[in-house]
Amino acid sequence: MLLRPDGVDLARWREELSGKGVPMDLARFAASILGQQDCSASKPQCCVLLDCSASDSVAATYPALMRSGLHIVTPNKKFGSGPLAPYRELREFAEHSGRSFMYEATVGAGLPVLSTLHDLLLTGDKVIRIEGILSGTLSYIFNTYKLGMRFSDVVADARAKGYTEPDPRDDLSGLDVARKVVILAREVGIPAELDSMGVQSLVPESLRDATAVGVDDYMARLPQFDEEMASRAAEAAANGEVVRYVGCVDAEAGRAEVVLKTYPAAHPFAQLSGSDNLIVFTTERYKDRPVCVRGPGAGAEVTAAGVFADLIKVIRSHPRG
Ligand SMILES: NC(=O)C1=CN([C@@H]2O[C@H](COP(=O)(O)OP(=O)(O)OC[C@H]3O[C@@H](n4cnc5c(N)ncnc54)[C@H](OP(=O)(O)O)[C@@H]3O)[C@@H](O)[C@H]2O)C=CC1
Ligand SMILES: N[C@@H](CC=O)C(=O)O
């Protein structure tokens, strides 16, 4: 892993590294590693791929990289919510080979969501239901937006704060929440696939079709949705309700879904602030008073902390690689 020295400009640092032949594309880097000898045999130290991109092509290299001896730490949801068969194979390979696949930051960023779930399962608890506000971006938008504001301004603000995905369409379409729900559902044994998840988009058809335009064009077209959002929010407010985007895993029914619902203003989902996530685990052990994990669920600092904690765990549990 290469760490940028304090005070060095990112662009200049990148230029310097590529001048020294350091590959800056993770997928190409992966290919170059695979061209070498078995990583675990050739290097005594712990080798970890730290994928902090949102790239499908980097995620596709995980199985081969793990077979070559690397551990994988990532906040990237593409592999964990990708096709089920390779996902299961990688988890099984990791289990038998002692390689680690660590992905805490894929759900709730730095919040202990997956580790809490793992500990509940590890100690014999049975999950009944997982429900929550799983998007820092959508939470921020709903918590910040007030009548009279422009919806598009609040989205731009969330993007500037580093809460959105590299492509904010993933957040506004509900796809990012659906990915997190797939990851959670698989933890409790539901063979969830992203394609079969019912996802309700926050933005209208006309904007959803804008796949051909780039992110900046999309952001420029977003004000077209301002009026519709204002009338939707006004309607909910007139009924004393708020609109929230919620992911739900019903472990008993073996079902997972993402829904846009209205809640009374006193509901815990309506009481959040900023980019807060709130994940509620109802289990056999915690049936009457479920376990709740709450806190900021997006942003560079908290996400980096989640990734770093995973990295430290890998290094500690594999001191010799
Ligand atoms: N932002 C957040 O709050 C959270 C993010 N995540 C996840 O973290 C990941 C990163 O998100 P975020 O930091 O917000 O996104 P950014 O767009 O800020 O950063 C992504 C980085 O990945 C780099 N990148 C993309 N493809 C490659 C590649 N093939 N090889 C090397 N570098 C590459 C990009 O470089 P370049 O700019 O040159 O393209 C960019 O620097 C995503 O998977 C996201 O889902 C998870 C939890 C919270
Ligand atoms: N874009 C995501 C970032 C974390 O996964 C979000 O808003 O929650």
- Classify residue 278 as exposed, middle or buried by CB count within 10 Å of its CB (0-12, 13-18, 19+): buried
Nearest residue by C-alpha to atom 4 in ligand 2: 298
Residue 40 tokens read as 């675990």
- Does the CA dihedral 182-186-190-196 come out positive or negative? positive
Residue 69 shares a structural domain with residue 130? no
Asked if residue 215 is part of any domain, the answer here is yes
The separation between the first and the last C-alpha atoms of the chain, rounded to the nearest angstrom, is 15
Backbone phi, psi, residue 277, to 5°: -105, 155
Asked if residue 264 is part of any domain, the answer here is yes
Number of domains in the chain: 2
From the CB of 46, is ligand 2 less than 6 Å away?
no
> Residue 285: its pLDDT value, please?
98
pLDDT digits (tens, 9 = 90+) for 42-58: 555 689 999 999 999 99
Q: How far apart are CA 266 and CA 248, in angstroms?
A: 20
Q: pTM score, two decimals? A: 0.91
Task: Quote the ipTM score.
Answer: 0.98
Asked if residue 101 is part of any domain, the answer here is yes
Asked if residue 276 is part of any domain, the answer here is yes
What is the number of other CB atoms lying within 10 angstroms of the CB of residue 215?
Answer: 14
Domain holding 17, by residue range, is 10-109+302-317
Domain at 269, CATH number:
3.30.360.10
Asked if residue 18 is part of any domain, the answer here is yes
pLDDT digits (tens, 9 = 90+) for 253-308: 999 999 988 899 999 999 999 999 999 999 999 999 999 999 999 999 999 999 99
Residue 101 shares a structural domain with residue 27? yes
* Of 43, 180, 261, 287, catalytic: 180
- State the closest ligand 1 atom to the C-alpha of 26, by its place in the atom list counted from 1: 30
Residue 129 shares a structural domain with residue 94? no
Asked if residue 180 is part of any domain, the answer here is yes
Residue 145 shares a structural domain with residue 263? yes
> Which residues belong to the annotated binding site for L-homoserine?
165
> Residue 33: its pLDDT value, please?
63
**Residues 102, 308 contacting (CB under 8 angstroms):** no
Residue 130 shares a structural domain with residue 79? no
CA 271 to chain centre: 22
> Residue 24: its pLDDT value, please?
62
What count of residues does the chain have? 321
Q: How far apart are CA 183 and CA 71, in angstroms?
A: 19
Side chain identity at 29, as an amino acid letter?
Answer: F
Q: How far apart are CA 297 and CA 257, in angstroms?
A: 19
Domain at 57, CATH number:
3.40.50.720
Instruction: Reply yes or no on whether 180 is catalytic.
Output: yes
Give strand pairing partners of 261: 244
Considering only CA atoms, which of 274, 12, 77, 14 is closest in space to residue 157?
274
Nearest residue by C-alpha to atom 10 in ligand 1: 53
Residue 292 shares a structural domain with residue 184? yes
Residue 130 shares a structural domain with residue 264? yes
**Residues 174, 97 contacting (CB under 8 angstroms):** no
Residue 211 shares a structural domain with residue 282? yes
Residue 70 shares a structural domain with residue 152? no
Strand pairing category for 291-296 and 276-283: antiparallel
Residue 145 tokens read as 């937006």
Residue 148 shares a structural domain with residue 252? yes
Pocket of ligand 1 (CB under 6 A): 25-27, 52-55, 58, 75-77, 105, 109, 136, 162-163, 165-166, 298-299, 303
Provide, rounded to the nearest whole percent, the portion of the chain with pLDDT above 90: 70
Q: Which ligand is nearest to the CA of 171?
A: 2
> Residue 80: its pLDDT value, please?
98
Residue 285 shares a structural domain with residue 309? no
**Does the pLDDT value for residue 21 go beyond 60?**
no
Q: How far apart are CA 134 and CA 176, in angstroms?
A: 9
Distance 111 CA to ligand 2 centre (A): 12
Residue 103 shares a structural domain with residue 130? no
Asked if residue 19 is part of any domain, the answer here is yes
Asked if residue 3 is part of any domain, the answer here is no
